């Protein structure tokens, strides 16, 4: 049955992590591999919901009739930090506008259903806002870093709040499309030390984080029921 499962998403799905030398590498056992060893992982670094549509068009034959675990949103909500570092009144522009993200995600679900596939949404792991701020500003000079912080009204909380609106929208998308959603977010937030499960860049789950996600999927009987269980938030 595990051969019928395909993962479609970004680097979190792929199992990309930042190592101790601050280089990106791919884990041998990301969460999808743990719960479905013979599954196919189509996760790609930097993918957005638009990339998801492109991948669907490219791999229709492979996706048809399969259980498809979807994981998008982390890149879609990302902002143009370089622009923000240079413009005091920079307009907030995400890589994918929230309303376009919603429309595109719903469209992707319908296309998968048209192929006889069974889509399931995965919520987003939480960010570590201070680490993420340091990561996106790593190439900026002191003035640029200060400008980004000033743009956020002096608090990195903005990063978490901005990211969370996309995460919350996933639950709305799941409700509108009547598609199961598996809440991995809460599993991280229940931990007092959930930052220990996130890489130095503040966004990618490390191996422990990937293991945590795998545990959540097993708890909702993913490997037994084939996505029949859903978890509300």
Higher pLDDT, 228 or 30: 30
Q: What is the overall mean pLDDT for the chain?
A: 92
Q: Please report which confidence band the pLDDT of residue 228 belongs to, taking 50, 70 and 90 as the band edges.
A: very low
- pLDDT exceeds cutoff 90 at 222: no
**What pLDDT digit, counting tens, does each position of 59-111 carry?**
999 999 999 999 999 999 999 999 999 988 878 789 999 999 999 999 999 99
Tell me what the mean pLDDT of segment 153-170 comes to.
Answer: 97
Write the pLDDT tens digit of every residue in 140-149: 999 999 999 9
pLDDT band at 221 (very low <50, low <70, confident <90, very high): low
**pLDDT digits over 9-28, tens only?**
999 999 999 988 889 999 99
Q: In three state form, how does the secondary structure of the chain look?
A: CHHHEEEEECHHHHCEEECCCCCEEECCCCHHHHHCCCCEECCCCCCCHHHHHHHHHHCHHHHCCCEEEEECCCCCCCECHHHHHHCCCCCCCECCCHHHHHHHHHHHHHHHHHCCCEEEEECCCCCCHHHHHHHHCCCCCHHHHHHHHHHCCCCCHHHHHHHHHHHHHHHHHHHHHCCCEECCHHHHHCCCCHHHHECCCCCCECHHHHHHHHHHHHHCCHHHHCCCCCCCC
**Superfamily in which the 2-79+95-126+170-225 domain is placed by CATH:** SGNH hydrolase (3.40.50.1110)
């Amino acid at each position: 049955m595990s051969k019928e499962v395909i993962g479609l998403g970004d680097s979190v799905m792929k199992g990309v992590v930042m190592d101790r030398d601050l280089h990106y590498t791919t884990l041998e056992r990301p969460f999808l591999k743990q719960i479905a060893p013979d599954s196919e992982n189509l996760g790609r670094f930097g993918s957005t919901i638009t990339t998801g549509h492109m991948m669907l068009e490219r791999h229709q034959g492979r996706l048809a009739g399969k259980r498809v675990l979807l994981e998008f949103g982390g890149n879609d909500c990302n902002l143009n930090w370089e622009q923000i570092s240079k413009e005091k009144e920079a307009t907030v522009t995400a890589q994918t506008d929230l309303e376009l993200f919603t429309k595109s995600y719903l469209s992707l679900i319908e296309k998968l259903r048209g192929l006889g596939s069974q889509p399931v949404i995965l919520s987003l792991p939480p960010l570590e806002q201070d680490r993420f701020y340091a990561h996106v500003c790593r190439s900026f000079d002191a003035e640029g870093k200060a400008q980004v912080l000033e743009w956020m009204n002096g608090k990195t909380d903005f990063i978490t709040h901005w990211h969370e609106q996309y995460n919350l929208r996933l639950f709305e998308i799941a409700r509108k499309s009547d598609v199961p959603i598996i809440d991995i977010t809460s599993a991280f937030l229940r931990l007092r030390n959930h930052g220990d499960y996130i890489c130095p860049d503040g966004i990618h789950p490390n191996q422990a984080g990937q293991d945590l996600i795998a545990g959540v999927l097993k708890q909702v009987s993913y490997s037994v029921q084939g996505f029949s269980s859903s978890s509300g938030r």
